[in-house]
């Protein structure tokens, strides 16, 4: 478990400034990766990264030290960006399904208020049911607040998958600080697992990259044998989750593709029967916005996902909601993933409300409304997906589907069969009869 926070050498409200005018980037300026010793505004502060925690409120039986970093961009100087991993050192591993109370601070005595979190259950199908919260393209608007209010009101998500486009800082660094404060009520008590979106790619000191994103959050890249924070995987309860990077190389000669091949090959479906993928830009999308944008990634990776029995793929980027049937290469396939686009978290760019007509056969539900979703993995073969619109009561379900996983489609499962069901009967009977008639005529000719 990683705990991340920011402390400031000055009043952080002076850096919030969400409504301030965005400053233009300076061109052709040499880029430097700033380390703590490169930040003079922090040199006179006795900075240490400390987390105290225990299983009773106000009673902290363990103290863990971590690291801090910072960065500078034009006239912006970040606070100290602290990161402490607990449960991996002398304090011993955290117990599953236990509520811990903690506070953060420095060894000089400064401490935060007390927060709490409940650890995940042990990895394995015996830990189901388990519920994920799903959010995309959140930003920091009134709609963003509504999304977070729904997430907190439901109080069912044991962890959150955030599929990119976090703060919409777009180079204006104080927005990262205000976004951290915005999500704190949820993120201080529930683990958020994030993947980069296009709005995380910023120009910092004239260099285009993901510096703020990489410095401010913890990613289990090393733990999942990834060489990049832009893609990684993790396991929780009965699920293996692979987070893929749309803004780094993904072709079949790339490091990411090689990593994904190896990562999927080691998935044990007896241990993690559910296989979930998160990424930013959708592969199946019937909205005019960003339509076909990721075709090259689909060409490179779709077959790999299908052959490894991926169950669900969550994406954002398009500012609307859409859920597909199981689809592969544009056609119904009983062993293909379901694609769910949730780029409707509340961003400042507004909704994407222009749809392709007619609606593709693989597109089952689509709507341009802000919202968020939950995925409950009920057991090894059944799950429930629910989408909640912001304009409705938090507990009102706007879209719901019962998902049944076919173990015959999953390599490593005891009932796996290497010949995937062809999904023929997802086509209308008239089309099947016509196809058989044509083949018979061709054979007799």
For the annotated catalytic residues, the residue numbers are 290
Q: How far apart are CA 202 and CA 211, in angstroms?
A: 8
Tokens of 409: 């489609």
Residue (of 114, 29, 38, 23) closest to 70 by Cα position: 38
CB 90 within 8 A of CB 65: no
Name 119's Cβ contacts closer than 8 Å, sequence gap at least 6.
1, 94, 95, 96, 97, 98, 99, 100
Cβ-based neighbours of 154, under 8 Å, separated by 6 or more: 133, 374, 388, 394, 395
CA Rg, the chain, in Å?
23
d(CA 236, CA 371): 24
* Residues with Cβ within 8 Å of residue 401, at least 6 apart in sequence: 323, 338, 364, 384, 385
CA distance from start to end of the chain: 68
Residue owning tokens 């100290």: 80
Burial class (CB in 10 A: 0-12, 13-18, 19+), 142: exposed
DSSP 8-state assignment for residue 59: B
Distance between CA atoms of residues 87 and 22, nearest Å: 40
Residue 166 DSSP SS3: coil
Q: What are the strands, taking DSSP E only, across 183-271? A: 191-194, 202-204, 207-209, 232-236, 239-243
Nearest-angstrom CA–CA distance, 399 and 225 = 36
Q: What is the 3-state secondary structure (H, E, C) of 355-378?
A: ECCCCCCCEEEEECCCEEEEEEEC
Task: Answer whether 280's CB lies under 8 Å from 247's CB.
Answer: yes
């Amino acid at each position: 478990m990683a705990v991340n926070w920011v402390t400031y050498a000055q009043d952080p409200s002076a850096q919030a400034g969400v409504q301030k005018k965005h400053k233009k980037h300076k061109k052709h300026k040499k880029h430097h990766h700033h380390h703590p010793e490169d930040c003079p505004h922090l040199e006179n502060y006795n900075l240490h990264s400390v987390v105290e925690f225990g299983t009773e409120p106000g009673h902290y039986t363990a103290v863990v030290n971590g690291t801090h970093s910072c960065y500078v961009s034009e006239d912006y100087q970040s606070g100290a960006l602290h990161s402490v991993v607990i449960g991996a050192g002398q304090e011993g591993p955290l117990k599953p399904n236990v509520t811990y109370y903690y506070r953060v601070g420095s060894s000089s005595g400064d401490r935060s208020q007390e927060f709490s979190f409940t650890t995940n259950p042990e990895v394995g199908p015996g830990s189901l049911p388990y519920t994920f919260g799903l959010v995309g393209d959140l930003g920091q608007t009134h709609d963003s607040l509504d999304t977070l209010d729904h997430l907190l009101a439901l109080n069912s998500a044991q962890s959150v998958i955030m599929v990119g486009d976090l703060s919409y800082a777009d180079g204006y660094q104080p927005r990262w600080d205000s976004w951290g404060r915005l999500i704190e009520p949820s993120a201080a008590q529930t683990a958020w697992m994030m993947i980069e979106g296009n709005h995380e790619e910023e120009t910092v000191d004239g260099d285009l990259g993901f510096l703020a994103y990489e410095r401010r959050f913890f990613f289990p890249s090393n733990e999942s044998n990834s060489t990049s924070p832009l893609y990684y995987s993790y396991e929780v309860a009965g699920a293996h989750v692979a987070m893929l990077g749309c803004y780094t190389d993904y072709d079949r000669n790339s490091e990411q593709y090689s990593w994904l091949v190896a990562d999927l090959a080691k998935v044990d479906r007896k241990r993690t029967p559910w296989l979930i993928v998160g990424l930013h830009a959708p592969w199946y999308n019937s909205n005019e916005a960003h339509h076909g944008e990721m075709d090259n990634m689909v060409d490179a990776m779709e077959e790999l996902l299908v052959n490894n029995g991926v169950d669900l793929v969550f994406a954002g980027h398009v500012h609307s909601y859409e859920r597909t049937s199981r689809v592969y290469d544009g056609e119904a396939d009983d062993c293909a993933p379901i694609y769910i686009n949730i780029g409707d978290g509340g961003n400042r760019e507004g909704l994407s409300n222009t749809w392709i007509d007619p609606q593709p056969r693989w597109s089952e539900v689509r709507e341009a409304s802000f919202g968020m979703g939950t995925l409950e993995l009920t057991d090894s073969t059944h799950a429930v997906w629910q989408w909640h619109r912001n304009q409705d009561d938090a507990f009102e379900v706007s879209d719901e589907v019962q998902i049944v996983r076919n173990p015959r489609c999953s390599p490593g499962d005891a009932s796996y069969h290497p010949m995937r069901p062809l999904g023929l009967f997802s086509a209308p009977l008239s089309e099947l009869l016509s196809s058989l008639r044509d083949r018979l005529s061709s054979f007799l000719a």
